[in-house]
Amino acid sequence: MALVLGIETSCDETAVGIVDDRKLLANVISSSVDQHVRFGGVVPEVASRAHLEAMQQVIKQALIDASISIKDIDAIAVTAGPGLIGALLVGVSSASGLALALDKPLYGVNHLSAHIAVDQLDNTNQLQPAIALLVSGGHSSILQINNLATDVVVKGATIDDAAGEAFDKIARLMGLGFPGGPLIDKQALAGNKTEINFPRGLTAPADLEKHKYDFSFSGLKTAVARYLAQTPNYKKADVAASFQEAVVDVLITKSLAACKESGIDKLIIAGGVAANHRLRELAKQRCESAKVELRIPPANLCTDNGAMVAALGSLAINEGVAASEIGISADSAAPVTQVVWK
Amino acid sequence: MSTVLAIDTSTSQTCVALVENGKVLFNKSHLDPLAHGEVLPKLVAQALKLTSKIDLVAVGMGPGPFTGLRVGITFAQSYALGAGINWAGVCSLDAMAANIREEDFIVSTDARRKERYWARYKNGVQFTAPAVSKASELEKLGVQIFQEGDYFPDPVAIANLGLSSSSVTEPIYIRKPDAYPLPDGVKFRAMTALDLVSAVGIEKVVYGKAAWSSAQFKEEFAKAPKNANYLAAELDGELVAYAGIFFAADVADIHTITVTDKHRRKGIGRELLKRMIDWARVKKADAIMLEMRLGNDQARPLYEQYGFVEISKRENYYGPGLTAVVMRKELK
């Protein structure tokens, strides 16, 4: 049992979570997303400045929400990568300052693994082994989780855009705004998902040989762009629903294929895109017919947050993983297999 | 009785000092402009072995390159929060000037992009506030300059300044982020013949003799939408910027990005550039090229930031003596 404070600053959310072993005590998020809306994407320097401005307040609020004093904390966990380097550095430096002041261990952890670890909060079920579909603004991959703290194998990943990125770009093309995921999700609710048959990337037999569990969304994006250009009075809802269906269909088809091939009957879907309604709905249907147990964290814990970082820190402690050394390097391109920094 | 932990990460050097009642227990620095994040915790861990109790964290608030600067500030603030003590921010240039005994001098640090952060001191007191300027302009002032490299912010001075006056509570960035939130109400739309009266007027002001005529614009518009894309930015019904790109075969060519003088440095040109790049991507161009007038330094960092690289120069391109710099960005 340990009280772990987790810090997340890899993109535009300054977030701090506190967990007591598997129990969620606090989850405070300050987002600079409003400052990025006009750019249609996150601006690193704007995000980094916002992190510095928000950091102390967010830590203090998390302590208040958890009704604990900073001195009660047993360990600090922080996202050390992947992410925007300037943004990561604010979190890592804050965490280092706290750990040294408190003389408590520091765990630099992987942002992507943390998205999966959040499943463990307030949940006593065994997570592993599982196939994980990790879908966010920056990443889309299928992982085999033998042990989340120590043994993660990449089965496949996107070869171009991440799923969330595709949502952002299509939303921009349709003039919906940023971030695109929730906006397309909302539009799609009123649309016909079979209206337009957009391509499913890397599902042709030849592609499947080389890219069995990989994704590609750039062709889909071009197809949507072409459709929009050629269809003067297109219906936004139908385009959104049809585009979303093309993304979600491929994500789930390939994830379940990975379950089947590896003989693992548990699928966990994590990352910001896991908040998408259609993804959740279709995953539920298909997992039921495939007799695969489906795990999706609550929607509010799917987007970037500090609780997931604390959850992974807590998991690492329980698995007996050594704490990180003083002076860890934030790594903007850390692979998902690097779960806890040495 | 007080023990001060002093930190500065505003230059290419990370430095840490521990000062107990004026006595320096620890004073170490490490030169590496890219390693503040790793070095700072290690130096502080070493310093902490020498004392059991810190009473104040003093930190240099800049000016300095943003990423490194934030490492020191956020570390200091979080350390103070964890230890339940106060932190005090000081101007890093003051800590660099503290040990210089001259009547009138400038201290300056590297602001990258051929620019310097600097402040002027007279009789040991800050005479002009921290600013950022081109190195060449700074030299024109004719005042003795003490530069980063020979001098650095002294962490012991930071400790002393932090104890006496802790007036700096915000990072001293001076520069704005390269990206600005666009001004409220800016609209982007296709550029049409209806914009030509305004556009030709802007051309004359911005480009003088090299200005495009109405006929040249019309010729360009005729290639749209298949081979060209011209966008206008308007604010309160007024044309404030426009950009155009042409594509045939493999390479797209940005023909113009023009922002009226009054509306520069607001992110409008950046947004137009991004939309030009997006369009070239949709067209599956292998690369994008653009020409820029030599000396057009305002726009160059923006192009470089988006991956454009200088590939050649064309003399007399915009008229006698006016050289064009040709830049290219690969998309494949």
Helix B36-48 vs helix A85-102: angle between axes, to the nearest 10 degrees? Answer: 10
- pLDDT tens by residue, B184-215: 778 888 898 888 999 999 999 988 888 899 99
A122 within 8 A of A23, measured Cβ to Cβ: yes
How large is the average pLDDT for residues B89-100?
Answer: 95
B157 within 8 A of B98, measured Cβ to Cβ: yes
Answer yes or no: do B147 and B255 share one domain. no
Along the 342 residues of chain A, how does pLDDT read in single tens digits? 799 999 999 998 999 999 999 999 999 998 877 666 655 567 788 888 889 989 999 999 999 999 999 999 999 999 999 999 999 999 999 999 999 999 999 999 999 999 999 999 998 888 889 999 999 877 899 999 999 999 999 999 999 888 988 998 899 889 888 789 999 999 999 999 999 999 999 998 888 888 999 999 989 999 999 999 899 899 999 999 999 999 999 999 999 999 999 999 999 999 989 999 999 999 999 999 999 999 999 988 998 999 999 999 999 999 999 999 999 999 999 999 999 999
| pLDDT the model gives residue A175 | 86
Judged by CB atoms closer than 8 Å, whether chains meet at A101 and B81 is answered as yes
Last residue of a domain, one of B164, B196, B213: B164
Question: Rounded to an integer, what is the distance from CA B236 to the centroid of its chain?
Answer: 29
Last residue of a domain, one of B130, B164, B198: B164
Q: Is residue A206 part of a domain?
A: yes
- pLDDT tens by residue, B13-51: 999 999 999 899 999 999 999 999 999 999 999 999 999
Answer yes or no: do B27 and B129 share one domain. yes
How does DSSP assign A148-192, residue by residue?
TTTEEEEEEEBSS--HHHHHHHHHHHTT--SSHHHHHHHHHTTS-
Residues in chain B: 332
Q: Is residue A337 part of a domain?
A: no
Which residue has tokens 């994980």?
A132
Answer yes or no: do B266 and B323 share one domain. yes
| pLDDT the model gives residue A37 | 61
Question: Rounded to an integer, what is the distance from CA A321 to the centroid of its chain?
Answer: 23
Nearest Cα residue in chain B from A106 = B41
Nearest Cα residue in chain B from A92 = B37
Count of Cβ atoms closer than 10 Å to residue A105 Cβ: 18
Judged by CB atoms closer than 8 Å, whether chains meet at B45 and A35 is answered as no
| pLDDT the model gives residue B207 | 86
B266: pLDDT strictly greater than 90 = no
- Determine contact: B77 vs chain A, CB below 8 A: yes
What's the longest Cα–Cα distance across chain B? 79
Answer yes or no: do A170 and A216 share one domain. yes
Pick from B81, B173, B284 the residue to mutate for testing the A interface (most A CBs within 10 Å).
B81
CATH number of A107's domain = 3.30.420.40
Judged by CB atoms closer than 8 Å, whether chains meet at A96 and B82 is answered as no
| pLDDT the model gives residue A105 | 98
Token code pair at residue A272: 């910001």
Answer yes or no: do B8 and B149 share one domain. yes
Angle made by CA atoms B157, B163, B165, in degrees to the nearest 5 = 90
Q: Is residue A338 part of a domain?
A: no
Answer yes or no: do B193 and B287 share one domain. yes
pTM of model > 0.90 = no
Scan residues 216-245 of B and list those with Cβ closer than 8 Å to A: 225
Q: Is residue A76 part of a domain?
A: yes
| pLDDT the model gives residue B261 | 87
Nearest Cα residue in chain A from B182 = A38
Answer yes or no: do A222 and A146 share one domain. yes
Q: Is residue A287 part of a domain?
A: yes
| pLDDT the model gives residue A29 | 93
What contacts A69, CB < 8 A, 6 or more positions away?
Answer: A63
Answer yes or no: do A23 and A107 share one domain. yes
Answer yes or no: do A104 and A142 share one domain. no
How many domains are contained in chain B? 2
Q: Is residue B258 part of a domain?
A: yes
Q: Is residue A179 part of a domain?
A: yes
Phi-psi region of B134 (alpha: psi -120 to 50; beta: other; left: phi over 0): beta
Residue B307 sits in which domain range? 187-330
Helix segments in chain A, DSSP class H = 33-36, 44-66, 85-102, 111-117, 163-173, 180-188, 205-210, 218-230, 236-262, 277-290, 299-302, 306-318
Q: Is residue B180 part of a domain?
A: no
Judged by CB atoms closer than 8 Å, whether chains meet at B179 and A46 is answered as yes
φ and ψ at residue A160, rounded to 5 degrees: -140, -100
Helix H, strand E, coil C: the string for chain B is: CCEEEEEECCCCEEEEEEEECCEEEEEEEEECCCCHHHHHHHHHHHHHCCCCCCCEEEEECCCCCHHHHHHHHHHHHHHHHHHCCEEEEECHHHHHHCCCCCCEEEEEEECCCCEEEEEEEECCEEEEEEEEEEHHHHHHCCCEEEEECCECCCHHHHHHHHHHCCCCCCCCCCCCCCCCCCCCCCEEEECCHHHHHHHHHHHHHHHHHHCCCHHHHHHHHCCCCCCEEEEEEEECCEEEEEEEEEEECCEEEEEEEEECHHHCCCCHHHHHHHHHHHHHHHCCCCEEEEEEECCCCCCHHHHHHCCCEEEEEECCCCCCCCCEEEEEEECC
Answer yes or no: do A114 and A153 share one domain. no
Answer yes or no: do B293 and B199 share one domain. yes
How many domains are contained in chain A? 2
- Would strands B23-31 and B56-60 be described as parallel, antiparallel, or unpaired? unpaired
Residue A174 sits in which domain range? 128-296
What contacts B193, CB < 8 A, 6 or more positions away?
Answer: B217, B218, B221
Answer yes or no: do B206 and B277 share one domain. yes
Cβ contacts of A90 on chain B, cutoff 8 Å = 70-71, 74
CATH number of B11's domain = 3.30.420.40
Count of Cβ atoms closer than 10 Å to residue B294 Cβ: 17
Judged by CB atoms closer than 8 Å, whether chains meet at B82 and A97 is answered as yes
Answer yes or no: do A114 and A258 share one domain. no
Cβ contacts of B75 on chain A, cutoff 8 Å = 93-94, 96-97
Cβ contacts of A326 on chain B, cutoff 8 Å = 41-42, 45
Answer yes or no: do A277 and A307 share one domain. no
Q: Is residue B173 part of a domain?
A: no
Token code pair at residue A71: 């001195």
B183: pLDDT strictly greater than 90 = no
Q: Which of A69-83, B130-144, B160-174, B230-244 has the highest mean pLDDT?
A: A69-83
| pLDDT the model gives residue B239 | 94
A272 within 8 A of A185, measured Cβ to Cβ: no
Answer yes or no: do B150 and B259 share one domain. no
Answer yes or no: do A114 and A229 share one domain. no
Q: Is residue B178 part of a domain?
A: no
B34 within 8 A of B3, measured Cβ to Cβ: no
Collect all residues from A whose CB is shorter than 8 A from any CB in B. Answer: 35, 38-40, 43, 45-46, 48-49, 51-52, 55-56, 59-60, 70-71, 85-86, 89-90, 92-102, 222, 225, 229, 326-330
A-B contacts at Cβ under 8 angstroms: 125
Q: Is residue A289 part of a domain?
A: yes
Q: Is residue B145 part of a domain?
A: yes
Count of Cβ atoms closer than 10 Å to residue A249 Cβ: 18
- Determine contact: B40 vs chain A, CB below 8 A: yes
Q: Is residue A183 part of a domain?
A: yes
- Among B37, B81, B274, select the one facing A93 at the smallest CB separation: B37
Amino acid A21 reads D
Answer yes or no: do B204 and B115 share one domain. no
Answer yes or no: do A65 and A180 share one domain. no
A233 within 8 A of A267, measured Cβ to Cβ: no
Answer yes or no: do A149 and A56 share one domain. no
CATH number of B268's domain = 3.40.630.30
Cβ contacts of B282 on chain A, cutoff 8 Å = 222, 225
Q: Is residue B171 part of a domain?
A: no
Judged by CB atoms closer than 8 Å, whether chains meet at A101 and B41 is answered as no
Q: Is residue B19 part of a domain?
A: yes
Question: Rounded to an integer, what is the distance from CA B182 to the centroid of its chain?
Answer: 17
Work out the mean pLDDT of chain B and round it to a whole number: 90
Where does the pLDDT of residue B319 fall: very low under 50, low under 70, confident under 90, or very high at 90 and above?
confident
Answer yes or no: do A61 and A140 share one domain. no
Answer yes or no: do B11 and B108 share one domain. yes
Answer yes or no: do B133 and B229 share one domain. no
Answer yes or no: do B208 and B85 share one domain. no
> Rounded to an integer, what distance in angstroms lies between the CA atom of residue B38 and that of residue B42?
7
| pLDDT the model gives residue A232 | 87
Answer yes or no: do A172 and A95 share one domain. no
Q: Is residue B174 part of a domain?
A: no
Residue A107, SS3 per DSSP: strand
